[in-house]
């Protein structure tokens, strides 16, 4: 999941967290798909940030998932016969992938 500004929001993105307004009232629930009209409504209500599923907005300097997984592969390239380290490599890569799905 990624927190973005409403200016960065685009139709089709899906909320990963509820959007709350004053006194904890929920304006939009988790899982709501953004539309042009909903994004405009959020902006008019001065909601500046929302949390969406995945990582739809690239961050300068941030590596892609593929780059991160390949980097782990490269770092463990010399330990192909050591089972505990191979297991560790696999778990690190799985966690990277899981973290990007949230």
Q: What is the pLDDT of residues 35-52, one digit of tens each?
A: 999 999 999 999 999 999
Mean per-residue pLDDT over the chain, rounded: 88
Backbone angles phi, psi at 19, to 5 degrees: -100, 115
Structural domain includes residue 7:
yes
Structural domain includes residue 58:
no
| Residue 98 scores a pLDDT above 90 | no
Does the predicted model carry a pTM greater than 0.75?
A: no
- Regarding whether 47 and 80 lie in a shared domain, the answer is no
Tell me the CATH number at 39: 3.90.105.10
Long-range contacts of 25-33 (CB under 8 A, 24+ apart): none
- What is the distance between the alpha carbons of residues 13 and 22, in angstroms, rounded to a whole number? 24
Give rounded-to-5 percent helix, strand, coil for the chain: 40, 20, 40
Q: Rounded to whole angstroms, what are the CA distances from 75 to 27, 41, 90?
A: 45, 47, 12
| Count: domains in the chain | 2
What is the residue range of 10's domain? 2-52
Residue 101: per-residue pLDDT = 67
- Regarding whether 38 and 71 lie in a shared domain, the answer is no
């Amino acid at each position: 999941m990624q927190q973005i500004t409403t200016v960065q929001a685009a139709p089709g993105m899906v909320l990963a967290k509820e959007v709350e307004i004053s006194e904890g009232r929920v304006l939009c629930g988790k899982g709501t798909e953004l539309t042009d009209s909903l994004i405009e409504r959020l902006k008019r209500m001065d909601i500046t940030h929302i949390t969406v599923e995945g990582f739809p907005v690239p961050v300068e300097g941030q590596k892609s998932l593929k780059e991160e997984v390949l980097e782990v592969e490269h770092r463990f390239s010399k330990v192909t016969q050591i089972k505990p380290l191979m297991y560790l490599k696999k778990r690190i890569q799985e966690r990277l992938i899981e973290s990007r799905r949230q």
